[in-house]
Structure 1
Amino acid sequence: MNILHIDSAITADASVSRDLTAQIVAKLKSTHPDATVTYRDLNTGVPTIDTAWFQAIRQTPETPSDAQKQIIATSDAYIQDIRDADVLVIGLPVYNFTVTAQLKNWLDQIARAGVTFRYTAEGPEGLMTGKRAIIAYAAAGTPFGSDLDFASDYLQHMLGFIGITDVTFVAADRLAFDRDAGLARARAALDAIAA
């Protein structure tokens, strides 16, 4: 088993999502001791897509400049992480009702037509199939799955868009109101996951 472990919280050791992703990875490794883990801490920085990215990635120059080669290599590396993974474990801290900027940047880097999805006569088709994702959702005030939660549906949609439809959530929500109850809900969801 190859595990891609992704964190994006800005709160360092105080992060609930980081703690949950670590617990999820530990549970997977307890039943798959030979599993490999690739770790990406998106909080260290993920380049935003911009005009230079568009020109390097979408316009596919025949002879890319050194700067364009670096842009392409960065995006390709994120995509290769996913290709190599059987399971993605993604920390989803909710800031201002949605995904972190870093996680959004990562999603923008990996959503590439002809690489991770393609357009067909029936609509878009994800190309990163046969993988599983376990999402560690953590929110101080946003109830998981509520009308205020613009994070979980979005992340699940984007994963499905590139072909990852087996998605499970471990949610610790409403932590600012009743931290113990929120963590208990997450523990119960974690215990229910088949490793």
Structure 2
Amino acid sequence: MKLLHVDAGITGPESVSRQISAAVVDAYLRAEPTLEVVRRDLEADPAPHLDGRGLASLPDNAILREFLEADVLVIGAPMYNFGIASQLKAWFDHVLVAGRTFKYGPAGPEGLAAGKRAILASSRGGLYAPGTPGSALDFQEPHLRAMLRHMGVEDITVIRAEGVALSPEARSQAIAEALLNARAVARDFPRRVAA
């Protein structure tokens, strides 16, 4: 069993999404100590942005191979300016590859990467969850879900800390709740492996 841990936060140890994603990975390792974890830090080692020269290498690149080999994806995804970090978008550009992770069939796109589980460690400075006044500005989580589903990844869990820029108290509370949820996410790991 292999877990791919991807982080896109750019604020180092202050990154809330990194704290959450690390707690998720820790929970998985506690549930299954032999789990193989592959780490991809998109701030330290960014995926190259696509250009015309890079298109030919997409069907067989290291980033795509890491994605294809993973059973579980843990993605630290902060919201920047209502969307995802450009580093994370570049990473997705290397894994959303026609013929490898999706194909076009008579009924439209078909995902080829089904069976994976994705946990999104989401952090946002304001309030954008469904039902909040800012929900119409959430181009982060819907975008992530759409890209994963396009590749056939349907088992998606979001662990969210939002409102972290509203006040120190709001930040502490949001992080505490997200970390509790992160620790709980792997509770059903043995059942999922047996299934």
Question: Which range, TM-score by smaller chain?
Answer: 0.7 to 0.9
For 1:98 and 1:185, the matched residues in 2 are separated by 22
SS of the equivalent of 2:157 reads strand
After TM superposition, give the deviation of residue 143 of structure 1 in Å: 2.3
After TM superposition, give the deviation of residue 13 of structure 1 in Å: 1.0
Distance 1:140 1:117, change over 3 A: same
After TM superposition, give the deviation of residue 189 of structure 1 in Å: 2.6
Q: Which residue pairs with 1:164 in the alignment? A: 153
For 2:174 and 2:128, the matched residues in 1 are separated by 10
1:184 aligns with 2:169: no
Q: Which residue pairs with 1:155 in the alignment? A: 144
Which 5+ residue runs of structure 2 have no aligned equivalent? Answer: 190-195
For 2:28 and 2:129, the matched residues in 1 are separated by 24
User: Any residues of structure 2 matched to 1:47-62 within 5 Å, and which?
Assistant: 47-54=48-55, 56=56
RMSD: 1.6
Identity %: 39
For 1:35 and 1:122, the matched residues in 2 are separated by 37
- C-alpha offsets along residues 84-124 of structure 1, whole Å, 9 cap, x if unaligned? 11100000111101100000001111111111100000110
1:12 aligns with 2:12: yes
Contact 1:97 1:142 in 2 (8 A): no
Which 5+ residue runs of structure 1 have no aligned equivalent? Answer: 57-70
For 2:25 and 2:156, the matched residues in 1 are separated by 15
Size of the alignment, in residue pairs?
A: 179
After TM superposition, give the deviation of residue 78 of structure 1 in Å: 1.1
SS of the equivalent of 1:52 reads coil
1:140 aligns with 2:125: yes
For 1:141 and 1:95, the matched residues in 2 are separated by 11
After TM superposition, give the deviation of residue 72 of structure 1 in Å: 4.5
For 1:72 and 1:101, the matched residues in 2 are separated by 18
